[in-house]
């Protein structure tokens, strides 16, 4: 059974605009993997990160949901939420993906 963090729905800002483009995806994955179940990362970027969203969907197998808050030409704001729930319990141990829980999932080395 998954225990929810006492900080459920806590939101953290991640402004990718100040991070060198070659480091962005790795930094975003690390930030997502440090969140606890139910926590939200408010992500700000200078472009719509469609390839990143696809990678997140593949890498975390439904454990991270997102919604656009703003879609302006030079500023995109997306809220990512960790939603472990039944996905974590149903996934086999070797399936990869994020285990969340603030300790990371170990998938960043794959």
From CA 66, how far away is CA 68, in angstroms rounded? Answer: 7
- Where residue 42 falls among pLDDT bands split at 50, 70, 90? very high
Q: Is residue 3 part of a domain?
A: no
Q: Is residue 13 part of a domain?
A: no
Number of compact structural domains in the chain = 1
> What burial class does residue 59 get, using C-beta atoms within 10 Å of its C-beta: 0-12 exposed, 13-18 middle, 19+ buried?
buried
Q: Is residue 27 part of a domain?
A: yes
Q: Is residue 98 part of a domain?
A: no
Q: Is residue 63 part of a domain?
A: yes
**pLDDT one-digit tens code per residue, 58-108:** 999 989 999 999 999 899 999 999 988 744 443 333 334 444 444 444 343
- Per the structure, the complete domain to which residue 39 belongs is given by 19-90
């Amino acid at each position: 059974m998954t225990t929810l963090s006492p900080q459920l729905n806590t939101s953290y800002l991640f402004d990718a605009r100040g991070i060198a483009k070659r480091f962005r995806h790795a930094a975003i994955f690390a930030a997502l993997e440090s969140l606890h179940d139910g926590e939200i990362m408010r992500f700000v970027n200078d472009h719509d990160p469609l390839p990143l969203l696809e990678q997140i969907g593949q890498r975390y197998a439904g454990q991270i949901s997102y919604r656009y808050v703003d879609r302006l030409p030079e500023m995109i704001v997306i809220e990512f939420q960790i939603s472990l729930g039944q996905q974590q319990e149903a996934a086999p141990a070797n399936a990869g993906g994020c285990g969340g829980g603030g300790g990371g999932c170990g998938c960043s080395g794959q």
